[in-house]
Every structure is written in C-alpha cells, then in structure tokens.
C-alpha cells in the first residue's frame, strides 16, 4: 500500500495544563495524572503494529512516548521539529494575563492571525510549515507501514487542519485531549487524510494508579 498510517498522540497532563498556563517550549514534566494517562494509552496500543515512534524532545511528550515504546517494543526517535509552538515571553502566563498586559496582541491571538507571533515566539503559519515538513518527511520514510507521533496540542491541531483542509483561522470544533489517540493516513499524492479522531476510551480504564506513582 502506497500510504503511511499515522497514530498521533498528545502528551499526558501537566500541572501547567491544569493551571491553564502557556507551555510552548518550556520543558514541563508530566504530573501524576499525566503519567497514568501515558500508561493507559500505552496499554491500549501495546499490540498495535508500529514500525517506529517519533516524539518531540520536550519531556512531557518524550515521557509519554517512552511509555508507548516500553509497552509496544517499537523503536523511539526524538525529533525536535515536533515541538509545541514557541510562545516566547508569554510562556508561563495565562491568556487572561496577556489580555491585561497586551490587549492588542491578545485580540490577534484570539482571532488566530496566522502571521501573529508572541515576542520571541513563533507564528501559526511558521509552526504549520515546520510541522507539515516534519510529518511529510517522516511519513515518506514509512510507506506501507504505521508510525506513532507523540507531540503537543498545537501540533495535533495543525495535523487536524492539514488533514481536513481547514485554514488556520477556522474555529476549532475538535478536541485535543491529553493522550488522545488520533489516526491519519498520508499518501505522496494527497498528503494527510483524517481516519479517526479523539479516542480517549482507554482513559476509562482503572488499575494503573500504582504504576503511575
């Protein structure tokens, strides 16, 4: 088959997720819930035929990917191109803080201005170009195979938009849940296509609390 199957996974929960803080490139670890979510996702995909796992180098994604590699046995490679969008000086703040300190910038951000970049940060259009290039390159290496990509909410949002041909400013109507399992198909002629999105049924499982530590 002249196609690559992709399972795209968002990292597990962090304390900054809970606190609605902007993470970006800041290297925040998984919290206890996030570690448990990673184990639950890994158990759900333990028998999935995976030829390779690719992960962002940020520890919240890498720890999630390592749980999958441990359960599945597929090799794991770090790829910094799969990082979250860089939010520069906004990282560590909440959106409400930006609305107070820089309302004009907050409005451009809320409207998803493709060219808007936070101070020392990255624009949506630049992030999309980065992610699209990385995923195209990885998928091209695995025609006829299935790979997993473990990354971040912004990366998964980009993949959803690319696979459904929605623009950067289209309102988001899809979920980006922690450790959700999302399935895509990539072909050389057509690029990405959506197969399934937002599967979190594995998070209903119990019994992994002790393992999560």
Active site residues: 11, 84
Burial of residue 131, with CB atoms counted within 10 A of its CB: 0-12 exposed, 13-18 middle, 19 or more buried:
buried
53 SS3 class: strand
Q: Are 79 and 54 in contact (CB under 8 A)?
A: yes
Please say whether the beta carbons of 26 and 86 come within 8 A. Answer: no
Phi, psi of 13 (to 5 degrees): -65, 145
Residues 6+ apart with CB under 8 A from 105: 98, 116, 118
Q: Which of 107, 133, 117, 148 has its CA nearest to residue 24?
A: 117
Round to whole Å and give the CA distance between 176 and 189: 27
Closest-CA residue to 159 (of 122, 191, 199, 187):
191
């Amino acid at each position: 088959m002249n196609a690559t199957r992709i399972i795209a996974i968002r990292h597990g929960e962090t304390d900054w997720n809970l606190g609605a803080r902007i993470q970006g490139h800041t290297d925040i670890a998984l919290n206890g819930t996030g570690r448990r979510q990673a184990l639950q996702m890994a158990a759900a995909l333990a028998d999935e035929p995976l030829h390779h796992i690719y992960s962002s180098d940020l520890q919240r994604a890498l720890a999630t990917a390592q749980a999958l590699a441990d359960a599945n046995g597929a090799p794991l490679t770090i790829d910094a191109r799969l990082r979250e969008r860089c939010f520069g000086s906004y990282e560590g703040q909440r959106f409400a803080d930006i609305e107070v300190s820089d309302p004009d910038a907050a409005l451009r951000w809320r409207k998803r201005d493709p060219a808007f970049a936070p101070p020392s940060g990255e624009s949506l259009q630049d992030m999309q170009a980065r992610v699209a290039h990385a995923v195209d390159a990885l998928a091209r290496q695995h025609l006829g195979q299935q790979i997993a990509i473990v990354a971040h909410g912004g990366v998964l949002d980009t993949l959803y938009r690319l696979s459904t041909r929605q623009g950067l400013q289209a309102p988001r109507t899809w979920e980006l849940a922690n450790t959700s399992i999302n399935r895509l198909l990539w072909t050389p002629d057509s690029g990405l296509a959506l197969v399934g999105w937002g599967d979190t049924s594995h998070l209903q499982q119990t019994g992994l609390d002790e393992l999560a530590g």
